[in-house]
Structure 1
Amino acid sequence: MLTDDTRWSAASFLRIMYLIFGLIGLIGNGLVLFVFLRVRSLRTITNLFIGNQSLIDLVSSILLLVSKFRNENTNFEKLSRGYGVFVCLFWTSDYIYWALLVSSTTNLVFLTLERYIAVVMPIFYRMRVTWKTATISAIFPWVFGLIFELFWPAVHRLSDGNCYPDWRSGWIQAIVGIIIFVVEHIVPIVVMIVVYTGIVRKLRAKVGVHVQLNSKLDPDTGQPNETLQTNPSQGNLGLSTNGSQNQAGWKAKPALQSGEQQQQSMPQKPEDLSTEDRKPDLRQRVRSNVIKTLFLVAFVYIICWTPNQVIFLLYNLSLYDLDFNGAVYISGVSLAFCNMWINPFIYTFKYRKFQKGLRKVFCLGSSDTDDTLNTGTTLNTTQIHNKYA
């Protein structure tokens, strides 16, 4: 049995934890948005969705500071009936926060789909995905979250100065609980798994094609690789060694000395390549780093939100007697709150473009050779698409 002192200690601990979470989320997500706004090379469509994710988490952090750190006991008896009902339905119920959860999930799905289209359908991406369509797509999660979560204030009731959810029927609660779990958790997870699986397969296929094509091209001329034949009976595939045109239509290169052959057969090191030769490889590395970063964001989202979603589903199915002041509920919600402040740390330690932008904003050093891909990206939308698609 909990004593008043125990309850006070638990409440104080939670308020301190919420304060820390809120402050970290406020500072971290604010920093992400500041860097994206200050560094022109980071103003890409992908980063538009990443910035939108940070904006949602920033607003969630502010709400956490305001709603959880203050005294949560609202005296409804001192409020007028109409205003009291409004406060109960839209504030005490945490409707806005849960709506932002839906918005965050929806935006994360859009961010995942944006990368999928860019990698799997690059031509469609360059032709159809514009700043206008991306901006509309970034606004949609906010609207969808506010609309979808309207059921939550709808089931709340203010009676005798108490604000609480009143489902009125067990089967209605069960149906709504299943819909919530499927829409807010199962569908996003399935979409992200399918999409990232498709992205990985596509990238592996591109790497295989790139290696195969390089093996068939002459490193000097860029034409199909020619093998010097010593057997004249090989017909059209035989190449002369005097530089004349052969029967296959390709002009053979003069025979190389043994030293030249050994030097030409040695693979070129990355540092020996020119900037133009290295651009495709750099572009592939940039794309791969972005995808790895976003995959980690999606994975952390699943870890943070799964316990809370499962607990709420069991509660709605009447399979678990949930105490909204108990340790299980508080632990699940606290883990979910971690998701609002952890993404900036992922960007800082994993997302190389953000790292360079962070160094540029705070004058901590110059960017490396990958920045050669950034030239002019903010002046031409097509160039942005070509670089990050």
Structure 2
Amino acid sequence: MDPMDQKEDSDHHQIGDYRIPWSIGGLEKEPWVKTIYALIAIVGITGNLLVCVVVRRKRSLSTKTFRFIFHLAICDLVTSVFLIALHVVSPPAHISSGVGGQIACKVFYSKLPLWVCFVASVSTLVMMKIERYLAVVHPVKHRMYCTKRVIANLLISTWFVGVFINSFFLYVSHVVNGRCIQTWPSGLVQSLIGVGNILAKIFVPVGITCYCYLKAMDTLSESEKRLRERRLSQFNTTSPVVESEYSNTEPSSDAKDDRKASTSDEDSGLMDVHHHQQGGKQSEQENAASFNQRDERTRSHRQPRRIRASSCGDRASVRNKAHQLWQVRARKQILHMLCVVMVTFVISWVPNQILFLSYNLGANVDFTKWYYHATVMLAFANSCMNPFIYTFKNKIFRVGLRDLLCFKAKRRVESRNDTSSGRRRAGSTV
């Protein structure tokens, strides 16, 4: 037996001096492994298709943030499709050495589409965080730069960024003895590519995301604190204003009558002595008192209107503050949802990327063993997690999804009723 064949039989992930990065064999041919990959792909395709349909149908979801979410769903959808092609349907182990075989090795067997989708997804997440950061911290710049055309161009560029970052697969993947293997110019180049790969795909995106998230949350927390203080001061100053207006009103006629009665009781002796002298003055006082009573009634009818007008203005201001508080809380909820999406993304992909870094640094990594497939399953499971996150963390999306499913169920029931009524009519005519 040829020594190279013996080496290939004893070590499935190496032929001679070459390493086979993604060899088809071992656990990948087991039915239960293919079943898990198939379930992940089916859930990912179904969930992300629902996300795309809901975002397109629900007018209240036509925001800049949900444009990024729509693109992220497309990335996850493409990932799920390629997952079926690369892990469920096993490609042939032997590859021709012609041009077609070289292209298949560089593009298909190296799993380049999956890594491009991965970079497109993480780039979309980073852009979402930057867009939210600009909307909260720099709203003027957000209105200037975050237009529909700019967002569309950025989303398209994520695919080119993904191809560029993973372009090293096109140079190191070759067909040798019917197998797709990686040949590196030197160990130093391989180590540099491994370090640069994990920096570009994990650490730099996470650093940018954390900065944008913390800065935006700090700004929103300060805004919420200021709005709460203003609202509290509004409530505290509303009642004194009303009381001061009441205090400026003239006393009522009953109070004046009481004071007149008390004055007349005290001066009853003088009025008996000077009864005839004060007769004319009493008539003048009565006329003046009646005039004052009419004037006081007029003021008492006008004063509540002024108080009601000021209280309505206070209520409008309070409602405005409440609406602003609601906007701040809604933005914080969106940031929390995007943070959960990013955290699940990092948890899902970090083990696989650490394994790939270890391989590039010279560790003896066997890509046919269980630990590699465990990291791959965890990474691709992220493509079907996001629809569940949107459903649980965003009420508007939840309502849109419920409306979509109920609409389909309603149409199904109506079609059944129409079919049954048609059959009854047909039977009656016969």
Task: Give the TM-score range, shorter chain.
Answer: 0.7 to 0.9
In the alignment, is the contact (CA less than 8 A) between 1:218 and 1:226 conserved in 2? no
Shift of residue 69 of structure 1?
Answer: 1.0
Amino acid at match of 1:186: F
In the alignment, is the contact (CA less than 8 A) between 1:293 and 1:350 conserved in 2? yes
Map residues 362-373 of structure 1 onto 2, 5 A cutoff: 362-363=405-406
In the alignment, is the contact (CA less than 8 A) between 1:100 and 1:146 conserved in 2? no
Q: Which runs of 5+ in 1 are unaligned?
A: 230-238, 245-259, 365-389
**Could you say what secondary structure the match of 2:181 adopts?**
strand
1:36 to 55, 70, 74: 55
2:213 to 196, 210, 213: 196
* Residues 330-369 of structure 1, C-alpha deviations (whole Å, 9 max, x = no match): 11111111111110110111111211211222348xxxxx
2:66 to 32, 47, 53: 47
Shift of residue 219 of structure 1?
Answer: 7.7
Query: In the aligned structure 2, how far is the partner of 1:175 from the partner of 1:360?
Result: 51
2:77 to 58, 68, 76: 58
Q: Which runs of 5+ in 2 are unaligned?
A: 1-9, 11-24, 251-306, 408-430
Shift of residue 127 of structure 1?
Answer: 3.2
2:381 to 338, 343, 353: 338
Flag the structure with higher helix content: 2
Shift of residue 194 of structure 1?
Answer: 1.3
**Could you say what secondary structure the match of 2:30 adopts?**
helix
* Equivalent in the alignment of 1:247: none
In the alignment, is the contact (CA less than 8 A) between 1:109 and 1:188 conserved in 2? yes
Matched, 1:360 2:403: yes
* Equivalent in the alignment of 1:12: 31
Change (3 A) 1:131 1:243: farther
The farther-off stretch of 52-61 and 135-144 is: 135-144
Amino acid at match of 2:356: F
Query: In the aligned structure 2, how far is the partner of 1:9 from the partner of 1:166?
Result: 23
Matched, 1:295 2:301: no
Shift of residue 173 of structure 1?
Answer: 0.3
Amino acid at match of 1:298: M
* Equivalent in the alignment of 1:236: none
Shift of residue 227 of structure 1?
Answer: 10
Change (3 A) 1:227 1:166: farther
Shift of residue 273 of structure 1?
Answer: 11
Shift of residue 212 of structure 1?
Answer: 1.8
Amino acid at match of 2:390: Y
2:234 to 217, 230, 252: 217
Matched, 1:163 2:163: no
Amino acid at match of 1:140: S
* Equivalent in the alignment of 2:90: 71
Query: In the aligned structure 2, how far is the partner of 1:352 from the partner of 1:9?
Result: 40
**Could you say what secondary structure the match of 1:362 adopts?**
helix
**Structure having the higher Rg:** 2
Matched, 1:326 2:343: no
1:316 to 357, 360, 363: 360
| Structure 1 ranges of 4+ moved more than 4 A | 6-10, 218-222, 225-229, 272-278
Shift of residue 195 of structure 1?
Answer: 1.3
Matched, 1:126 2:146: no
In the alignment, is the contact (CA less than 8 A) between 1:102 and 1:145 conserved in 2? yes
* Equivalent in the alignment of 2:248: 242
Shift of residue 11 of structure 1?
Answer: 2.2
Query: In the aligned structure 2, how far is the partner of 1:212 from the partner of 1:107?
Result: 37
Shift of residue 294 of structure 1?
Answer: 0.6
* Equivalent in the alignment of 1:251: none
Matched, 1:305 2:349: yes
Shift of residue 277 of structure 1?
Answer: 6.3
Change (3 A) 1:219 1:125: farther
Change (3 A) 1:8 1:311: closer
Change (3 A) 1:296 1:243: farther
* Residues 173-218 of structure 1, C-alpha deviations (whole Å, 9 max, x = no match): 0011111011111101111111111122111101111112223336
Aligned residues: 325
* Equivalent in the alignment of 2:203: 186
Amino acid at match of 2:31: S
Query: In the aligned structure 1, how far is the partner of 2:142 from the partner of 2:26?
Result: 55
1:93 to 110, 114, 135: 110
Q: Percent identity?
A: 29
Amino acid at match of 2:155: A
Matched, 1:136 2:153: yes
Shift of residue 101 of structure 1?
Answer: 0.8
The farther-off stretch of 306-315 and 66-75 is: 66-75
In the alignment, is the contact (CA less than 8 A) between 2:231 and 2:318 conserved in 1? no
Query: In the aligned structure 2, how far is the partner of 1:212 from the partner of 1:8?
Result: 62
**Could you say what secondary structure the match of 1:322 adopts?**
coil
**Could you say what secondary structure the match of 2:365 adopts?**
coil
